[in-house]
Structure 1
């Protein structure tokens, strides 16, 4: 039986990974959602199941920080999708910068002094999300509440971070459905294409969508390339994310014609296609058979295997000049990092959607003699705590490559 008060008066400390501010109540750590460092708040307890720490959400602000704003969405505090709608956009990026720096320092011993770069200089943090999955509540598109399976209907005008074309499509698809998936392709064009699935069945638009980069491929002279991707498949969700990441990855790797590259966790072949356009031979791995099949279609000159990366690596080239890895949120892990180092690439591009996982992977790469020459962070998920990073790694010395060669 709980003996603590249901509402706590708290002084909020530093921002933590996950979008929480850290507070203390009678010596116990409390992770608080909806606050800002330095604020005094009343917070309602939402999870006290762990002895080491609790979770709470701000119910009243007693002393506000200067960067606090009115959330643009009326259900922001209830919905689990957005963590930072109460924070002005520039300071959201400062909070994310602090998180990235803290995670890299703690997890990899790296003193990072970078900034969080916006995806678009003109954005307001809204209307960027091109792929959404909704439940249905009260005959309305709905999203899950924070740390709950309860559903929160979106506002009358739709979810503010969803692309406007997707909002309209979701409204028309929920009748009689339990789950609705909406994908918007060509989101920066005057006439985007919208694919809608209800309970896994197509109800509007194509099942396969055509995606391309906003401003063409990031390599001078490269051909304009289009990728086919399923309406319920993976593609970067921010309207500018594919372009931003492509420029960071290809710019960091500086591929040369005739080189070999591995594209790990390759999806439908975004990076593989751009490497192929640069004259690079590519092999890729993707756990989703559907996505791997589309990668073969999108980049016909490359070779793609479907399966777990660690299991497929022995079937790929044992020597590669370049490696791109874009693992899931948990990161690549020790086995895959060791396998990557064993192919002795001259450069590795690590795309990470979790700074803690990136730090763990960078620490493992350091054990193999690979260290980052650059780490960039991008705000590809405005209004949320999520952030995308791209680290470019190179072998620290030629002795490392020789040792790796002997081990292989």
Structure 2
């Protein structure tokens, strides 16, 4: 029996009252018939005309853009970026909101996720309900912080660099990204032609003059002659194996944080905001309060940022085990931490490697999992190690809240939570939660 054909509603327009913000850079509205809309480019309390961008009759919800503002919020401003808006660049969600309003929206999302997924109020999570801007980012409305030290440009069929439109493979050509850090803008990626390339990633290291461009060719594409405005190393992504290979220059950049220099190989993870690494290390160390001689785990450790910070504070008799799945990141971490004889880095997935170590008890744990979070089984294992404190670093409030709920099921409570606006103009927010055994708070 064939299913009845559905009718697309793309292009339909509805006049709606905008409700609360939701996770993902949009707000919730309902049509007169009760259909749920996820509306971008709107703000809570506004009355707008919303044009459907995705969805069909009978769908649980529709996606839409606010294409006309009938009654504007007091928090609305004209988007500073000429490439922002309905149907344009998808990189920034909140260009149309005042900076303070952006942080309040993020705080509302975090509070809602904590309540819904972890059963916690802000007070129960030890959170004051605010999202704190990074140093230097508290700017007047209309001014945009230049924070993005890593920008991945998409390339259109004609070789012009741009950024992808929201939930689309289409490329929005740009001549400048307003949130790009000066070191990225100086490379002039947008001025050059990149015929045969799928994407161009530009990296400007923090604390050094290292600049790097990573080229991903289209199938059969040949590398262009790279003559950029600044000295730069060039890497190429292998179209078959996916590995990153050096074309010329260093195969890594040097990033500076917590008083140390960290080698980060091509394509390796490093915090994008120039103040992020130091901000997060400070929050984690203030929450954990490491003591000389303790044993610590750094899970999903990347190139060793937190492992190095822990080792430095635990002293000669302390020990740190880091676990990371990426082969190149492990090589970099071992290089970066070579001066700490009591630091060991193991390669593999946390859920596979940690049980094999035979470790049954530790003092401190830091985990900075990918966007999906750590998950129920990993949280249960970590809770069984009876750490006196755990620091959870998260870039996704939903995954964080789910995992905090799992920790609660396994005898841990949230002692303190801090939220940082390390991705201005976007819906993303970075959090650090400090947990301890629930008995301590009883």
* TM-score higher than 0.5: yes
Per the alignment, residue 44 of structure 1 pairs with 51
Alignment partner of 1:136 is 2:155: yes
Whole-angstrom CA distance in 1 between matches of 2:273 and 2:150: 8
Whole-angstrom CA distance in 1 between matches of 2:134 and 2:159: 34
Per the alignment, residue 353 of structure 1 pairs with 395
User: 1:173, 1:180 within 8 Å by CA — same for their partners in 2?
Assistant: no
User: 2:161, 2:194 within 8 Å by CA — same for their partners in 1?
Assistant: no
Whole-angstrom CA distance in 1 between matches of 2:441 and 2:421: 37
Per the alignment, residue 65 of structure 1 pairs with 73
Which deviates the most, 165-174 or 235-244? Answer: 165-174
Structural RMSD (CA): 1.9
Alignment partner of 1:92 is 2:102: yes
User: 1:289, 1:306 within 8 Å by CA — same for their partners in 2?
Assistant: yes
Q: By how many angstroms is 1:178 displaced? A: 2.3
Whole-angstrom CA distance in 2 between matches of 1:16 and 1:399: 32
Whole-angstrom CA distance in 1 between matches of 2:390 and 2:52: 44
Q: By how many angstroms is 1:175 displaced? A: 2.5
Whole-angstrom CA distance in 1 between matches of 2:441 and 2:215: 56
Partner SS state of residue 91, structure 1: helix
Alignment partner of 1:109 is 2:110: no
Per the alignment, residue 243 of structure 2 pairs with none
Partner SS state of residue 229, structure 1: strand
Q: By how many angstroms is 1:167 displaced? A: 2.3
Q: What is the correspondence of 1:256-405 to structure 2 with a 5 Å cutoff?
A: 256-278=291-313, 279=315, 280-300=318-338, 301=341, 302-316=343-357, 317-397=359-439
Alignment partner of 1:126 is 2:145: yes
User: 1:173, 1:198 within 8 Å by CA — same for their partners in 2?
Assistant: no
Taking a change above 3 Å as real, the CA distance of residues 320 and 39 of structure 1, as seen in their structure-2 partners, is same
Whole-angstrom CA distance in 2 between matches of 1:343 and 1:249: 19
Which deviates the most, 357-366 or 140-149? Answer: 140-149
Per the alignment, residue 23 of structure 1 pairs with 29
User: 2:42, 2:66 within 8 Å by CA — same for their partners in 1?
Assistant: yes
Q: By how many angstroms is 1:2 displaced? A: 2.6
User: 2:300, 2:323 within 8 Å by CA — same for their partners in 1?
Assistant: yes
Per the alignment, residue 7 of structure 2 pairs with 2
Q: By how many angstroms is 1:321 displaced? A: 0.4
TM-score, normalised via structure 1 length: 0.90
Whole-angstrom CA distance in 2 between matches of 1:229 and 1:46: 39
Q: What is the correspondence of 1:215-294 to structure 2 with a 5 Å cutoff?
A: 217=258, 224-278=259-313, 279=315, 280-294=318-332
Q: By how many angstroms is 1:203 displaced? A: 6.1
Q: C-alpha deviations, 1:189-231, integer Å up to 9, x for none?
A: 5x73211121252567532111112xxx3xxxxxx31110023
Q: By how many angstroms is 1:72 displaced? A: 1.5
Which deviates the most, 123-132 or 13-22? Answer: 123-132
Partner SS state of residue 277, structure 2: helix
Taking a change above 3 Å as real, the CA distance of residues 58 and 151 of structure 1, as seen in their structure-2 partners, is same
Whole-angstrom CA distance in 1 between matches of 2:247 and 2:331: 23
Q: By how many angstroms is 1:101 displaced? A: 0.8
- List, as ranges, runs of 4+ consecutive aligned residues in structure 1 with deviation greater than 4 Å: 202-205
Whole-angstrom CA distance in 2 between matches of 1:399 and 1:119: 31
Per the alignment, residue 167 of structure 2 pairs with 147
User: 1:139, 1:174 within 8 Å by CA — same for their partners in 2?
Assistant: yes
User: 2:326, 2:347 within 8 Å by CA — same for their partners in 1?
Assistant: yes
Which deviates the most, 195-204 or 91-100? Answer: 195-204
User: 1:76, 1:82 within 8 Å by CA — same for their partners in 2?
Assistant: yes
